[in-house]
Chain A
Amino acid sequence: MTSQTQSAIRFDNVSKSFGNVKAVDQANLEIRDGEFFSLLGPSGSGKTTCLRMIAGFEVPTSGHIYLYGQDVSNLPPYERDVNTVFQDYALFPHMSVGDNIAYGLMVKGVPKSERTKRVDEMLELVQLTGYADRKPSQLSGGQRQRVALARALINHPKVLLLDEPLGALDLKLRQQMQVELKAIQKRVGITFIFVTHDQEEALTMSDRIAVFNEGKIVQVGTPAEIYEHPATAFVAGFVGTSNLVSGEVAKRITGREIRFSIRPEKIHMGTMDTKIEADSYSADGVVRDVIYLGLYTRYLIELNGGGDLVVVEQNLKTTSMDVLKVKGQPVRLHWKKEHIREVGGS
């Protein structure tokens, strides 16, 4: 019972089908009070459906959803203490910014004077002081984003849901908003549930992440756990880039019949006379491709005897001319044994 009251959201065997399609399959999840929690996965993995079930836009086909211990599975959205920031912001085009933000208070019958006061507070929180009388159409994408956030937060919801809210912004603004969102979350102390398909975004902002694939939650953990200890090959591949090695190649390298992942940045690339320590694995190959990316360079190495590995090296001393010369050269790859992760099926 105590664990129920402490968790902000709890999924108890929740499934959702649309016709024959199982969008969410037997999801079990616990999101703690005050957490910045991300639902991460490719499109169609069920993360948005989960969010919509928390909001009340979809009703679970089976299972239960608890909001601070209360079963809300079948409550309509307007009876849940949860608010959403929509992917397209969903600002009311016929209302001013101020009326948009005050909407939740207006429908609850809060008097006008208090509404105005709280709208001003919210505008200050999202750094849009003085914008109350504008129409949403007069705002930039980033500003609309902030209005949507203010409109949701003014109701002091128990949980705030964010459905890929940064997807439509350009890279610079997105990075700025990531920092700002995190700061706002710290300030208001509300549980944030954030849906994204961008692993970097999830790693940057979240306290914990649930990784979705094909309707199932495949791993839940802190960003470091997810990145360093991917539970499955899918997680290893989706969160960050990873080399997945299996079959003959894995056996040749490790001497065991396993399947493992290794991050490209953990692999060192040396000349053929590089000595291999006892705590490392190694593999020889030829550089097939070199992709210069400014900050770092990505190499595709074709291993002698089949298979290939991606290696990433920072361009600390090298220039583009230097790295491109490596193409076609034989190299010896080596990495610490502790850096491989044995992974399961999918």
Chain B
Amino acid sequence: MLQRLSTFLYQRPRLVLALLLGPPMLYMVVVYLGSLFILLLNSFYYLEEFTGLIVREFTLRTYAQIFEPANRDIFVRTAGMAAAVTVADALIAFPLAYYIAKFASPRLKTWLIIAVTIPLWSSYLVRVYAWKLILAQEGILSWFINLLHLDGALNWLLSLPGIGGSSLALSPIGMFIVFVYIWLPYMIIPIQTALERVPASLLEASSDLGAKPFQTFRTVILPLAFPGVVAGSIFTFSLTLGDFIVPLSLGNSKFFIGQAVYSYQGTAGNIPLAAAMTMGPVVIMIVYLLIARKLGAFDAL
């Protein structure tokens, strides 16, 4: 019976393909793309301010609201943070990923990868709260900085307009630190994977042909690891763009996109504006991916 079934399936590769792809495709199309489509639909409705009711007719006036200075600032602030976090994560992740991929012994490699991914085992909320305590006015970081007699530098940093605040926990700097920490594994792993695929002989060949270590890095290692950096940046950038827990727990009261969406759809009941603001990151990510493709980041995939 079982054999007849397998023979039956063996002779019908298209049916096998349909059975394999069907359930995930159904999920992707109906649940994921479907809800995105409903989101898109909602963003073209608008909230009648006088009655507080949602008017279900096609309009662009909700989108016009996004370009009001207050909302525009939210976008600039969030995208700026996402970009800064991405750059910082790439700079921190690259040397570590390079070490894991090219120098660490197989044993050490296993341990390092576990060390990189272990924070992901604990709840993201717990980690954000932990950081809130670390960064607090009377927290361990301030204590440590005090110990090093660097509180002058810290106070100067916190007095900077735009990124400063009354303490690290209540400033954009603190948010930045937490974002960089939280998304770092998502940058390390893709870069490490990309570097892993660069044969050692290519680096030897470059050196053999007269390239000094920095030239090898710039002309061979970096271009070949670039798809990994882009893959990692897609994670760090989009995750920062959509996050609302970190801005809610840390930093000053200035809104980020995620926070704004959260409050518009909740207390304000302005579903259309929340939907329109959600489309923002979607558009930003599409543009980002197009640029990445143009730069050849996906050629090696």
Contacts and interface: CB of A to CB of B under 8 A. Distances in A.
B64 to A, nearest CB: 45
Contacts of B209: 78, 83, 103-104, 107, 151-152, 155
A86 B205 CA distance: 8
Interface string B204-248: 111111111001000110011000000000000000000000000
A19 to B, nearest CB: 12
B162 interface: no
Contact of A57 (B204, B220, B299): B204
B207 A76 contact: yes
B207 A93 contact: no
B221 to A, nearest CB: 11
B6 interface: no
A108 B207 CA distance: 12
Interface residues of A, number: 25
Contact of A90 (B202, B212, B215, B300): B202
Interface string B234-271: 00000000000000000000000000000000000000
Interface on chain B toward A: helix, strand, loop, or mixed SS? helix
Nearest to B202: A90
Contacts of B24: none
A88 interface: yes
Interface string A121-163: 0000000000000000000000000000001100100000000
Contacts of A86: 201, 204-205
B199 interface: yes
Contacts of A90: 199, 201-202, 204-205
Interface string A44-86: 0000000000011100000000000000000011100011101
A108 B299 CA distance: 28
Interface string A81-111: 0111011101111100000000110111000
Contacts of A92: 202, 205-206, 220
B204 A108 contact: no
Contacts of A152: 208-209
A55 B223 contact: no
Contacts of A106: 219
A102 to B, nearest CB: 10
A65 to B, nearest CB: 15
Nearest to B296: A94
Given A86-B205, A88-B199, A94 B212 contact: no
A78 B201 contact: no
- Residue among A76, A77, A83 with most chain B CB within 10 A: A77
Q: Which 9 A-B pairs have the closest CB atoms?
A: A90-B201, A104-B209, A90-B205, A107-B211, A77-B207, A84-B208, A77-B208, A94-B223, A86-B201
Given A57-B207, A77-B207, A103-B209, 18 more contacts: A56-B208, A78-B207, A78-B211, A83-B209, A84-B204, A90-B199, A90-B205, A91-B205, A92-B202, A93-B300, A94-B224, A104-B210, A106-B219, A107-B209, A107-B219, A151-B209, A155-B209, A155-B210
